[in-house]
Amino acid sequence: ILLLNVELSCLNSLPVCNERQYTTHGVCCNKCRPGYRILTHCTSSEHPESSCVPCDRNWYMDKWNGADYCKAMNMCNKSHEVIHKAASNDGTEDNVCKCEKSYHYTDTHEFCLQNADCPPGQGSKNGLCVVCVDGTYSDVTSNTKKCKKQPDCEATGMQVIKEGNSTTPTICGLAPAQPTDAPKTFTSASTDALPTTENVISSDRSTPVIATPAPQPGAITGSGDSVWETMRGMLGGVLIIILVPIGACVVCKLRKKKQHSRNIENGESKLLFE
């Protein structure tokens, strides 16, 4: 009972410090901020300020602390190891290291090992080869490249021309054009098959239904192209009928004029001889 009372009295005598303080010799002293360490401790809770100094070069402290030392930086000087992210100059962080390209850390990060060469159908992950799962592929041998995602043809408005597999990519292409319906044409029909006003009457037998009259003999029927060809042929015939007489008249006049000129020349020749 006496020992328990002594222990309880000791616990009750310990000061209660806040999170930015530490205890030393029964006194709450202020911690040093990141990048600094303790040089001398405070001497009383009434004056809790500790004496702090910055960490030396290549040393750091990344948190509020009551330590009289800083931590040594990792210089990333293992075989095939390089600095991935350099520490800041204020001594608040460590260097971040990584292995060179084509190398990876062991499970314990003790040193770097060279990656395995992965054949087509496998990708590199943490220096080891893994089989490409469905929807991915690898078509090269590499010790650094991962499996790539297969192309999504539908997302680009195309269709699958050839499905890919773990070693080849899917080939996409444009969808073939859909065939269009052939243009409709109209042909002449017999007048006997077409209804007329004489034989088509409505159900109430009061108002006759006016039907489309049957085409007259010689009328032009058919598609737009055939009508145009017929009209062009008719216009050509009319032009020939008009131009042939005109051409004959012009030729006749030219002959008469030429004969008149010859007659005049002959007359002048007779006068000269006389």
- Residue 151 confidence (pLDDT): 95
pLDDT value of position 256: 80
pLDDT in tens, 159-173: 999 999 999 999 999
Q: What is the pLDDT of residue 215?
A: 52
Q: For position 20, what pLDDT does the model report? A: 93
Distances (CA, A) of 222 to 215, 217, 230: 11, 14, 10
Confidence (pLDDT) at 179: 67
Encode pLDDT of 211-249 as tens digits: 444 555 545 454 556 667 777 778 777 778 888 778 778
Read off the tokens for 26: 């029964």
Helix intervals (H) in the chain = 2-13, 224-273
Residues in the chain predicted with pLDDT less than 70, given as ranges, are 1-14, 177-227, 265-274
| Gap between the terminal Cα atoms of the chain | 185
The neighbouring-strand residues paired with 130 are 123
Distances in whole angstroms, Cα of residue 160 to Cα of each of 73, 86, 154, 167: 54, 47, 8, 17
